[in-house]
């Protein structure tokens, strides 16, 4: 009887680093001790469907970016371990989990974890019913995600990278003249200009720089958030410095919450919502919920 473990490899061919040569190299790195079945996504939401079809597999491995990881976490069968190979422009989740940044090295490490049955259970978040792997937000970061998406993709289907996102955030600040008034209410905490919610840290990356915007967030705990009560020109340099230093949560004008099961937000008007860098549209209310010990990841 064949005793090799079975794994489905889900590949997003439109992700930044998923070239045909790299896909072949990842398959080879996974292959020696595994039966690997490669499936390619063809449209938004397809990764969720492919993950749902992996019932009975020993693992699902994803080679794509954060949006693809998000779809797989929302579609994968319960208790099937998940592995994440960096294939996007940022690939926050595998980097936050300590997976090697090189896709082939990552695939080798994940293959070994499958064979050795080495997993770690992590918490995920859920906002208005949709799971997120590492971060979600209402307001500033969600608006930046929307604007970057509006720029479209390259001829190869690739999304703009970290520099485009950083430039977009700066443009939003410039348009607002460095001033953001309170526009939402966080139940039990107060009013804020925008809110960043995370179930792990870092919140994101700017190239090699880890952005520890919600540093108290842990993959083995509940949800944490930071939310500036208001942003005025005089405090922008200080908040920016704290954001880069990982001490934004220590500022007197920033609301915080840690290890929470539920964070409820009501907006004064419809505001953009994002989860793992995916635009989820405008909302007037949002319920962020922690799912503790929700997913087994291959590490």
CA atoms of 144 and 186, how far apart (whole Å): 21
Q: Is residue 125 part of a domain?
A: no
- Residue-by-residue DSSP string for 257-292: EEEESEEEEEEEEEEEEEETTEEEEEEEEEEEEEEE
Q: Is residue 88 part of a domain?
A: yes
Q: Are residues 237 and 140 in the same domain?
A: yes
CATH number of the CATH domain containing 63 = 3.40.50.10330
Q: Are residues 145 and 278 in the same domain?
A: yes
Q: Are residues 88 and 177 in the same domain?
A: no
pLDDT digits (tens, 9 = 90+) for 69-78: 999 999 999 9
Q: Are residues 250 and 200 in the same domain?
A: yes
pLDDT digits (tens, 9 = 90+) for 99-128: 999 999 999 999 999 999 999 999 999 999
Q: Are residues 259 and 153 in the same domain?
A: yes
Q: Are residues 166 and 113 in the same domain?
A: no
What are the Cα distances from residue 229, in Å, to 12, 182, 184? 39, 6, 9
Supply the pLDDT for residue 155: 66
Supply the pLDDT for residue 156: 65
Q: Are residues 108 and 136 in the same domain?
A: no
Please tell me whether the peptide bond between 299 and the residue prior to it is cis, using omega within 30 degrees of 0: no
What's the domain range around 285?
A: 130-291
52 SS3 class: helix
Q: Are residues 113 and 135 in the same domain?
A: no
β-strands 254-260, 223-228 pairing = antiparallel
Supply the pLDDT for residue 173: 87
What average pLDDT does the segment 136-163 reach? 85
Query: With bands split at pLDDT 50, 70 and 90, how would you rate the model's confidence at 163?
Result: confident
H or E segment to which residue 168 belongs? helix 162-175
Q: Are residues 111 and 136 in the same domain?
A: no
CATH number of the CATH domain containing 170 = 2.60.200.40
pLDDT digits (tens, 9 = 90+) for 192-237: 999 999 999 999 998 889 999 999 999 999 999 999 999 999 999 9
Q: Are residues 103 and 141 in the same domain?
A: no
Q: How many domains are there within the chain?
A: 2
- Phi (first) and psi of residue 63, to 5 degrees: -115, 100
Which residues, 6 or more positions from 133, have their beta carbon under 8 angstroms from its beta carbon? 66, 69, 70, 73, 92, 93, 124, 125, 199, 200, 276
Rounded to two decimals, the pTM is: 0.93
Check pLDDT > 60 for residue 1.
no
Last residue of a domain, one of 72, 95, 117: 117
Q: Are residues 136 and 35 in the same domain?
A: no
């Amino acid at each position: 009887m064949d005793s090799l473990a079975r794994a489905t490899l889900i590949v997003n061919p439109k992700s930044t680093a998923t070239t045909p040569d790299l896909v072949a190299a990842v398959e080879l790195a996974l292959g020696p001790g595994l039966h690997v079945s490669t499936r390619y996504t063809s449209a938004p939401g397809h990764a969720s469907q492919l993950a749902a079809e992996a019932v009975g597999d020993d693992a699902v491995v994803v080679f794509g970016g954060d949006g693809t990881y998000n779809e797989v976490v929302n579609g994968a069968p319960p208790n099937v371990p998940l592995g994440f190979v960096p294939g996007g422009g940022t690939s926050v989740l595998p980097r936050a989990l300590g997976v090697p940044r090189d896709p082939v090295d990552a695939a080798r490490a994940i293959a070994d974890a499958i064979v050795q049955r080495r997993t770690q259970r992590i918490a995920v978040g859920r906002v208005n019913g949709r799971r997120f792997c590492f971060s979600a937000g209402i307001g500033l970061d969600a608006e930046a995600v929307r604007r970057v998406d509006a720029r479209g993709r390259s001829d190869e289907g690739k999304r703009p990278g970290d520099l485009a996102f950083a430039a977009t955030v700066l443009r939003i600040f410039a348009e607002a003249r460095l001033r953001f008034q309170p526009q939402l209410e966080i139940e039990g905490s107060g009013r804020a200009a925008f809110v960043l919610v995370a179930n792990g840290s870092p919140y994101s990356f700017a190239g090699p720089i880890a952005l520890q915007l919600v540093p108290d967030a842990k993959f083995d705990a509940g949800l944490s958030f930071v939310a500036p009560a208001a942003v005025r020109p005089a405090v922008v340099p200080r908040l920016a410095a704290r954001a880069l230093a990982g001490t934004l949560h220590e500022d007197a004008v920033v609301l915080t919450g840690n290890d929470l099961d539920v964070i409820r937000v009501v907006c004064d008007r419809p505001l953009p919502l994002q989860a793992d860098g995916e635009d989820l549209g405008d909302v007037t209310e949002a319920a962020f919920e922690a799912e503790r010990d929700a997913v087994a990841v291959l590490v």
